[in-house]
Structure 1
């Protein structure tokens, strides 16, 4: 009996913690309530800022040489970050932007093979520009990083939070100039607009923590019927 009421108290405490205070306007957030219509985004609001996209090993790229179809083709970057072009041979592609690689190809072709070459390079598909999403998400794994990738979008790519996810324990690990750094985030606070949804970059590691309270509540729900049955029997007597 005491054990049952202890578990009941714990469950009620968990339920009480689940309540959330209403959102209020802050210097960083303007809240529109009731029937007040939110402003319409302008053109600039709908365009995400471009991010640096680099060619990496095993990425697939397309190379187009204007007016020279024999040199235009789609190819895969090898494991060492190099590509092989007709006439000019192997070229280092890894770690370069598409525009930088196009300039390198133009320089190699210029003069000797093609007069005033005009080269365009596009990244068709990338396996090197990925984020690792681990921990309490539905489908942990490696996911491609798009130009507009944010923490919430990364979690959504992994099919959302798992049953025992701790929304207040989300870590983003990143290496900047050889230094390992970590960002600590609260998914629920971001959802409620309390602060911006942080951008996610290639090679980031997102780890969603585990919530012992959620596990305790699940365990309580699973054993509650067994605990209630003896109490009902006593009351009937």
Structure 2
């Protein structure tokens, strides 16, 4: 075993070289173009269809029956996803979109109670359609998913990764047809365009990994001895 004496400057340079930024690269769904050739999005790009929102347990909804205040107001779905509507009673809202629920309520009111009911349902607050973002992000927690959300947007919603994040160790947990699935992603590669930013769905759990090396380096450079003495590293022959 031999001793290597490195000054702080040399250590920083070596670490910087090891952490060099990978080049941009095209993939099946990502095309790299020159900076001055990046086109503006079209109108169709900016009005891409959103994934329909599905009502779930404990969601808060605003129901409006046009011209009939007594039948309008805010309701909250119960644990089974049902809402109580005046005159027609309990309605199963779980799994329906707001527009579908409005149509269901209109059918229940039409004829017996209201000749031609005009019903709208709007989402006020979502509890069921959320993702969990955990690990090395600034604000771990539960975040609502309305429309399309990608992995990068989910992490940005949690205020971004922390200084100790391991960007090539981002895991998504998902349940599909009672099967528990897990997939590993590299946020660094996604940022460089190596592959497409994957979509996340309500119920997903996103965990950003921890980098022990970053923590160790932080501890080393925060020590006062680094400023006055060389660093001694042990290297096996």
> TM-score scaled to structure 1, two decimals?
0.85
Residues 227, 188 of structure 1: CA spacing in aligned structure 2 closer, same or farther, 3 A cutoff? closer
Q: Which residue of 2 aligns with 1:137?
A: 137
Residues 80, 25 of structure 1: CA spacing in aligned structure 2 closer, same or farther, 3 A cutoff? closer
Shift of 1:212: 1.6
Q: Which residue of 2 aligns with 1:177?
A: 177
Instruction: Structure 2: give runs of 5+ residues left out of the alignment.
Output: 231-237
> TM-score scaled to structure 2, two decimals?
0.85
Q: Which residue of 2 aligns with 1:76?
A: 76
State the distance in 1 between where 2:179 and 2:53 align.
Answer: 21
Are the counterparts in 2 of residues 14 and 217 from structure 1 also a CA contact under 8 Å? no
Which deviates more, 58-67 or 125-134? 58-67
User: For the aligned residues, what is the CA RMSD?
Assistant: 2.5
Q: Which residue of 2 aligns with 1:195?
A: 195
State the distance in 2 between where 1:27 and 1:97 align.
Answer: 33
Q: Which residue of 2 aligns with 1:109?
A: 109
More helix by share: 1
Is 1:229 aligned to 2:234, yes or no? no
Shift of 1:230: 4.8
Which deviates more, 133-142 or 191-200? 191-200
Residues 71, 79 of structure 1: CA spacing in aligned structure 2 closer, same or farther, 3 A cutoff? same
Residues 80, 188 of structure 1: CA spacing in aligned structure 2 closer, same or farther, 3 A cutoff? same
Are the counterparts in 1 of residues 132 and 142 from structure 2 also a CA contact under 8 Å? yes
Which deviates more, 182-191 or 12-21? 12-21
State the distance in 1 between where 2:28 and 2:197 align.
Answer: 16
The one-character-per-residue Cα deviations of 1:91-148 (angstroms, maximum 9, x if unpaired) are: 1222221122122212221222122333221212212111100001111111111313
Q: How many residues align?
A: 229
State the distance in 2 between where 1:185 and 1:39 align.
Answer: 28
Are the counterparts in 2 of residues 14 and 213 from structure 1 also a CA contact under 8 Å? no
Instruction: Structure 1: give runs of 5+ residues left out of the alignment.
Output: 232-237
Q: Which residue of 1 aligns with 2:234?
A: none
Which deviates more, 81-90 or 159-168? 81-90
Q: Which residue of 1 aligns with 2:233?
A: none
Are the counterparts in 2 of residues 48 and 148 from structure 1 also a CA contact under 8 Å? no
Q: Which residue of 2 aligns with 1:22?
A: 23
State the distance in 2 between where 1:6 and 1:229 align.
Answer: 10
State the distance in 1 between where 2:98 and 2:22 align.
Answer: 48
Q: Which residue of 1 aligns with 2:149?
A: 149
